[in-house]
Amino acid sequence: MKCSICSKPIEETFLKKIIGTYIKKLGSSKKYPICPECQKKFKKEELLTKL
């Protein structure tokens, strides 16, 4: 799993949950994985414009 913004690999917990978050584009069912650094750096609205 790679970050949709910076393309860095995102780690997963043993429960297969990613360390980070997913965001969804409006009107799309596709989920985009976001790493914790990008999550901290950008607001959700900013992330959406970068996808």
23 residue type, one letter: I
Nearer to Zn ion, 27 or 49 (CB): 49
Nearer to Zn ion, 27 or 40 (CB): 40
Nearer to Zn ion, 9 or 13 (CB): 9
Q: Is 5 in the site for Zn ion (CB under 5 A)?
A: yes
Could you give the CA distance from residue 41 to residue 21 in angstroms, rounded to a whole number?
13
- Say how many CA atoms lie within 13 Å of 46 toward its Cβ: 7
Q: Which of 2, 6, 25, 46 touches Zn ion by CB under 5 A?
A: 6
